[in-house]
Structure 1
Amino acid sequence: MWARHRPAFVAFNVLTLAGALAVLLTHLGDAAANAGSAAFWVMVVLAVLAGTQAFAAEIGPERVHVTVAPTVCFTFAILLTWGLWPAAATQAVACAVIAWRLRRTPSAAAVAAARYTLALGAAAVILWLGNPDPFRDNGGTSLATDALSVVAAGVAWLAVYGLLFLGTRIGEGLPWRRALVVVRDQVLFNSALLVLSPVLALAARINVAYLPLAIIPLVAVQRLARLSTQRETIARQDPLTGLANRTGLRAAYDRLVVGFPARPGVTAPVRPSLLVLDLDRFKQVNDALGHDIGDQLLVAVAGRLPPVDPRLGVAARLGGDEFAILARTDDPHGLAEEVVRGLRRPVYLEGLRVDVTASVGVATDDGEGFHTLLRHADVAMYEAKQRGDAIATYDMRSDRSSPAQLRLLADFRRALEVDDTVRLRAHYQPQVSLSTGHVEAVEALLRWDHPRLGPVNAEDIVALAEHTPVMVMLTRRMIDRVTAQVADWNAAGLGLRASLNVSTRDLYSEDLIDHLAQRIAYHHIPPGQVQIELTESAILADVRRAQGPLRRIADLGVTICLDDFGTGYSSLQHLRRLPISEIKIDKSFIAGMAHNRDDAAIVRSTIELARSLHIRTVAEGVEDDLTHKLLAKARCDLAQGWHTARAMAPEELPAWLTAHDARRAA
């Protein structure tokens, strides 16, 4: 809070220094007390030596730096034995040594010394009220009073020091709730040190030779504290690159978001953005050059990431070849561009040149938590990789895994499981011969009317289901619906071929091919009246692997159509060894052929090549009469699109066919 009001924080430090000075001035009489005592100087030397062993530790989720040094047990023992002034002076010297070792400013050392002096002053007041000399040689009833005085003095020291430390941390910008956690840990550490002070005071009174023995347990405590800090650092750090790991990234998020919430009347800080980058073709480097070279590449990439101010973010390696940068920035896209520029220069590893590229996903925190932010950045990164772009920013519309879409997928699955024939249906779009005008076939298209959301776009729901077991369930239902419908049309005298779409996942499922054969036999329909449509990209992903399943389908007598032809940049010569009966020219070429010479040339050459290979051609997306005539002139076989008819419910098709035949006859 005070970090936004710098004068108030400065005033707090000035008051701390002034208070410490006032306390010292009131105890000048202690300055020379017992100055010649050997035990006193041994205690001073030990306190200073303890200061040389100080180190900075990180406490709490915010990773706040605090100083760990066991000087307090010696200076509090000096207070118990020789008074406030010697204790405060020794602590000031120790603070100077600590500041020198940890490279702190003189002003920071002065404020720390003042804080200790005020805490020692509070303890001195309690000792004076309870017993001016709790370690005098007597016995009887004063033992309880002495012990109570020492305990109360320790509590007073902790209370004053804790309050001053809290004020300092809040003044540095740490929210008070988080500051309380840090102060709690600091108070616990100092409590353990204060417990040793009475033992040291007694040792100084009995035999000064016992004092150095205190170093042994203190060194052990210091060592354990250092090891604990190192273990915590290792737990948050990637051992290969030295960057933060996923745990460290989460801690940085807590520090930036949870640790600095927006407050009424205060301008909220810029919410952090997360960049997730995945190296392209890293597996090829590992496979070709070995994992040692791959590790060297990862280290080189880590060194090329933009530097991040620890107060504003962190760079991390999430695992494998995936890195992340979390940062408060007004321009996350600019930071992503800086990442891409940094990786553009080739890396030379053992004389080999390795070109590095990466796909970067960018997401800005929306207040839903770390895991949501990380998922959004992952979604954006995969979107960039899929589009072939270097950078992509998270867009909810392209997120197939948001909670709302997962709920939608769950609803769709339930509709498939109960076989909801009212809301989940197949509509059919006619395919008309361009030479005769006769309707030769139809394509089955999914239609789903959600009970709450209404009609759902079929492309959206298929994209959600495509890489899940739901896709297999959908294909089974469509096979059931289409084969049953073809049988009904045959009984009504309508001999139509019906096409249905199948995904790559379905293509390699033995069960689905068996299911298709079983439904065709069950309904006693000619296999040639059922056609399977597969996208060009699905087959081109692995032509050799696709040959077996496609041959099994063709052996059933079922014809195969290659959908969206042209988008995969393949040629029919490449696919001629596959049992393809029909290709469907992608609508992006059909829509442009009336006004784009290149599109028209692509469509004409595709039709000619297909005819030479005795493959039927279908033009999808025909929406105007001019395109219809151009396709007929190019000798395309079938046309499908709104120019002829939209997809319709199966019970509407007979009436539409009658009207269509009447128009054709007229």
Structure 2
Amino acid sequence: MDAAVRRNSVPAERAAPFYTFVGAVITVAVVVSAASISRLPEQLPDLPTAFWLMAALAVLCDYRPFAPPGPRQSSAVFPSICFTFAILLAWGLGPAILVQAAAVVSSSIRLRHATWRAVFNVAQYALALGAAEAVLRGFGEAAFAQGTGPTWIDVVAASVAAAAWFVVKYGTVTIAVRLHAGGNWWRTFRHGLAFESVSIGALLLLAPILVGGPASQSVALIPLMLVPLFAVYRMSRLSAEQEHLARLDPLTGLANRKALLAEVHEQATLHCARAAAGAPDQHFALLLLDLDRFKHVNDALGHAVGDRLLIDVSDRLVRAVGPADVVARLGGDEFAILTPRLTDADGARALADRIVVALAEPVSLDGLPLDVAGSIGIALFPEHGDDFATLMRHADVAMYDAKHRRDTVVVYTPESDHNTPERLSLLGDLRRALDPDLVSPAAGEITMYYQPQIEIQTGAVVGVEALLRWRHAKRGMVDPEELIKVAEQSAVMRLLTRRVVDDVVEQLAKWQAAGVHLRAAVNVSIRDLHTLEIVDQIKERLARFEVAPEQLQLEITEGALMADPRRVLATISELAKLGVAIALDDFGTGYSSMQHLRRLPLTEVKVDRSFVLGMATDADDHAIVRTVIDLAGALGLRVVAEGVEDERTWRLLRGVGCHVAQGWFYARPMPAEELVDWLGRYRPLNPS
């Protein structure tokens, strides 16, 4: 186990304690080994050929040691350990320290270690050998030194001495790494413990076999020990390579989620240690990148081309970041970048901007240029979280916020996070209210309210809009906007839509049986329109309850269209073929409205209430409403104005030719049973 550090330089805030420890280890090692070293001039002339052969093999083998990659470059397989422990058993502490020192010098030359580091390594080995010597003396073990057949107690003594050697050596390395790099004591201790206890343990326990077998029988047998030593070397190397590969993405060679988690944990520990030491405030950032339209590449060109695109993107990311940054692929088209030692969010934004520039140039695959772009979310330590899970979740929130806002880079803000503890609790209650297997009185009751839609020219009730209501057992009526915000970011949204469609279609059948024929409009979310599942569900429910498709209308927003126009268009086209009417809700508040009116199979547009509410007092709002009605009329579309709350607005809408209106001027949303009573009492307004 080489005393290990990532670099020979030591951070200023830890330099004093680190070098104090190094000096203490060297001093104690000199004291422990002084007496044994002083007797070496008398011992060396009498040492046998077996000793000199072992010493030569120890020095030669350590010239090319194997140390697995990683922050703790431990001496996992230094063959000299086997030979010097065998020398300790047979000829004592002095010769063992001498040979081990020569082997350390050999490996230090090869690895280009600083002089102080080589001296520190010699001192560690001297302490470990001294501890093993003390154990052997305590047991009174002498069989290996005398060349007699070892007994069970001798084997036990050698094993306990090997354990003492390992504890002292591993312990000094752990303390040195902790003082040098900071971090958590327990994490530093257990890092590599399993690997090193097996590999070093094998080297130490081969020593009694070496000195009790080949060394005592024939010097010519000693070189044969290189075979099991090579086996230990191969075992250690394969183990280290497997551990290394387990932290890599197999396609791109970048770090994977497991490696990123470990790096974030280490950076968090280091920053906390620096803060505790009074260092200036420092931050690190986690950037989450999700490629846009990657699924389209896979669908159109195949996964092989998609894989090549990901490899090219990973190469660009590596070139765009700094040498201390960590780039990881989390799966699919999602990447993460960890950048340490920032002063504020501007540094993270600067890195994100470099990444955007790096991805701006199209990727050429087989002569076909493919545009690459993505959305980047940023979370900062410690402002946005102090652990991997929290930082990842907040970076994910920021990334989806960037997609929603059609921005490229967004830094996390609590205002955009719909997953606060309170909302997560509410989401759990909503799931229990919707799932028949989880239903609980504490979750409350999901019901549907219906608001009438009135034909302005005739005053006839032509339809209703179905509006979701949730009466929570503890919170009372949950605000509908809050309910949708809670649900739409999770799979619960599909459960909610399924429940709404089921309830509304069943209610249409009940009204039909009672002689009430109405069209019901149902709002659907972005998630509902990304698959054809909703088409199959509606088709099945209409057939089961014998409801005509024309009695059901789905309302979609322009925001849903912009999220994924291709998939949304495919879904609503299938619904239109089924005979279900499609309405464009909140018209005028989204993007590319003219294009949508021309391309989509619409039957109706709904003028947003923000324009309707102001049209009686604001000339601009009045002009917007009139323009929308004229445009829709030219395209053969029905126009519904929502938010009609007074007679003046109703008369203005009638004057500009609006077809249908809904709002509190006519009626508030109400439960289904109240609607039937309301219909019995309703009298159309006199248009004069």
For Structure 1 versus Structure 2, the TM-score category normalised by the shorter chain is 0.7 to 0.9
533 and 128 in structure 1: CA distance in 2 versus 1, 3 angstrom threshold? closer
The answer to whether the aligner puts 1:251 opposite 2:262 as a matched pair is yes
Distance in 1, matches of 2:496 and 2:255, equals: 38
409 and 485 in structure 1: CA distance in 2 versus 1, 3 angstrom threshold? same
Distance in 1, matches of 2:684 and 2:624, equals: 34
Offset of residue 7 of structure 1: 3.2
Q: In structure 2, the residue corresponding to 1:57 is in which secondary structure?
A: coil
Give the match for residue 356 of structure 1.
372
498 and 277 in structure 1: CA distance in 2 versus 1, 3 angstrom threshold? closer
Distance in 1, matches of 2:648 and 2:557, equals: 27
Distance in 2, matches of 1:373 and 1:339, equals: 16
Picking from 184, 188, 195, the partner of 2:205 is: 195
Structure 1 residue ranges without an equivalent (≥5) = none
Offset of residue 113 of structure 1: 1.0
Offset of residue 443 of structure 1: 2.5
The answer to whether the aligner puts 1:105 opposite 2:126 as a matched pair is no
Offset of residue 317 of structure 1: 1.0
Q: Contact between 1:127 and 1:153, CA under 8 Å: does it hold in 2? A: yes
Q: In structure 1, the residue corresponding to 2:670 is in which secondary structure?
A: coil
The answer to whether the aligner puts 1:532 opposite 2:553 as a matched pair is yes
Give the match for residue 157 of structure 1.
165
Offset of residue 318 of structure 1: 1.8
621 and 109 in structure 1: CA distance in 2 versus 1, 3 angstrom threshold? farther
Distance in 2, matches of 1:662 and 1:138, equals: 116
Offset of residue 87 of structure 1: 1.9
Counting only pairs closer than 5 Å after superposition, residues 265-304 of structure 1 correspond to structure 2 as 274-284=286-296, 287=300, 290-291=305-306, 293-304=308-319
Q: In structure 2, the residue corresponding to 1:104 is in which secondary structure?
A: coil
Comparing 185-194 and 508-517, the one that deviates more: 508-517
Distance in 1, matches of 2:310 and 2:472, equals: 50
Q: Contact between 1:296 and 1:349, CA under 8 Å: does it hold in 2? A: no
Distance in 2, matches of 1:271 and 1:216, equals: 50
Q: In structure 2, the residue corresponding to 1:34 is in which secondary structure?
A: helix
Picking from 164, 168, 184, the partner of 1:175 is: 184
516 and 200 in structure 1: CA distance in 2 versus 1, 3 angstrom threshold? closer
Give the match for residue 454 of structure 1.
476
The answer to whether the aligner puts 1:318 opposite 2:342 as a matched pair is no
Distance in 1, matches of 2:630 and 2:153, equals: 109
Comparing 85-94 and 586-595, the one that deviates more: 586-595
Q: Contact between 1:424 and 1:448, CA under 8 Å: does it hold in 2? A: yes
Q: Contact between 1:547 and 1:578, CA under 8 Å: does it hold in 2? A: yes
Q: In structure 1, the residue corresponding to 2:68 is in which secondary structure?
A: strand
Give the match for residue 586 of structure 2.
564
194 and 475 in structure 1: CA distance in 2 versus 1, 3 angstrom threshold? same
Distance in 2, matches of 1:384 and 1:88, equals: 63
Offset of residue 477 of structure 1: 0.7
Q: Contact between 1:416 and 1:474, CA under 8 Å: does it hold in 2? A: no
Q: Percent identity?
A: 35
Give the match for residue 209 of structure 1.
220
Q: Contact between 1:564 and 1:587, CA under 8 Å: does it hold in 2? A: yes
Structure 2 residue ranges without an equivalent (≥5) = 1-9
Give CA deviations for 1:285-341 in whole Å, capped at 9, x if unaligned: 5645945752552343332342363xxx73211233221124555646742551342
Give the match for residue 29 of structure 1.
38
Q: Contact between 1:499 and 1:532, CA under 8 Å: does it hold in 2? A: yes
Counting matched residue pairs gives: 644
Q: Contact between 1:486 and 1:498, CA under 8 Å: does it hold in 2? A: no
The answer to whether the aligner puts 1:222 opposite 2:233 as a matched pair is yes
Offset of residue 657 of structure 1: 7.6
Give CA deviations for 1:560-587 in whole Å, capped at 9, x if unaligned: 644333435344995599472x332233
Give CA deviations for 1:366-412 in whole Å, capped at 9, x if unaligned: 77975565455444433422332213437574349975354133223
510 and 138 in structure 1: CA distance in 2 versus 1, 3 angstrom threshold? closer
Offset of residue 359 of structure 1: 0.9
592 and 266 in structure 1: CA distance in 2 versus 1, 3 angstrom threshold? farther
Give the match for residue 647 of structure 1.
669
The answer to whether the aligner puts 1:344 opposite 2:337 as a matched pair is no
TM-score between both structures, scaled by the size of structure 1: 0.80
Q: In structure 1, the residue corresponding to 2:102 is in which secondary structure?
A: helix
Offset of residue 120 of structure 1: 1.7
Distance in 2, matches of 1:532 and 1:659, equals: 26
Q: Contact between 2:104 and 2:118, CA under 8 Å: does it hold in 1? A: yes
Whichever residue aligns with residue 569 of structure 1, its letter is S
419 and 227 in structure 1: CA distance in 2 versus 1, 3 angstrom threshold? closer
Q: Contact between 2:287 and 2:377, CA under 8 Å: does it hold in 1? A: yes
533 and 419 in structure 1: CA distance in 2 versus 1, 3 angstrom threshold? farther
Offset of residue 230 of structure 1: 0.9
Whichever residue aligns with residue 620 of structure 1, its letter is E
Counting only pairs closer than 5 Å after superposition, residues 68-83 of structure 1 correspond to structure 2 as 68=76, 69-83=78-92
Distance in 2, matches of 1:469 and 1:610, equals: 34
Distance in 1, matches of 2:112 and 2:480, equals: 64
Q: In structure 1, the residue corresponding to 2:448 is in which secondary structure?
A: strand
Give the match for residue 239 of structure 1.
250
569 and 250 in structure 1: CA distance in 2 versus 1, 3 angstrom threshold? same
Q: Contact between 1:30 and 1:84, CA under 8 Å: does it hold in 2? A: no
Q: Contact between 1:513 and 1:553, CA under 8 Å: does it hold in 2? A: no
106 and 621 in structure 1: CA distance in 2 versus 1, 3 angstrom threshold? farther
Give CA deviations for 1:62-103 in whole Å, capped at 9, x if unaligned: x64312212111112222334323321221222233233334
Whichever residue aligns with residue 280 of structure 1, its letter is D
Q: Contact between 2:434 and 2:446, CA under 8 Å: does it hold in 1? A: no
Give the match for residue 409 of structure 1.
430
Q: Contact between 1:273 and 1:363, CA under 8 Å: does it hold in 2? A: yes
Comparing 376-385 and 189-198, the one that deviates more: 376-385
Offset of residue 226 of structure 1: 0.9
Offset of residue 235 of structure 1: 1.5
149 and 619 in structure 1: CA distance in 2 versus 1, 3 angstrom threshold? closer
Q: Contact between 1:589 and 1:603, CA under 8 Å: does it hold in 2? A: yes
Distance in 2, matches of 1:527 and 1:133, equals: 97
TM-score between both structures, scaled by the size of structure 2: 0.78
Distance in 2, matches of 1:211 and 1:454, equals: 84
Give the match for residue 6 of structure 2.
none
264 and 258 in structure 1: CA distance in 2 versus 1, 3 angstrom threshold? closer
531 and 85 in structure 1: CA distance in 2 versus 1, 3 angstrom threshold? closer
Offset of residue 221 of structure 1: 0.8
Offset of residue 655 of structure 1: 8.0
576 and 24 in structure 1: CA distance in 2 versus 1, 3 angstrom threshold? closer
Offset of residue 647 of structure 1: 2.2
RMSD: 4.5
Distance in 1, matches of 2:168 and 2:269, equals: 28
Distance in 1, matches of 2:677 and 2:579, equals: 33
Give CA deviations for 1:115-161 in whole Å, capped at 9, x if unaligned: 11122223334445655954455769x96675565445434433433
Give CA deviations for 1:476-508 in whole Å, capped at 9, x if unaligned: 112223443576584xxxx86654446646895
Distance in 2, matches of 1:217 and 1:527, equals: 79
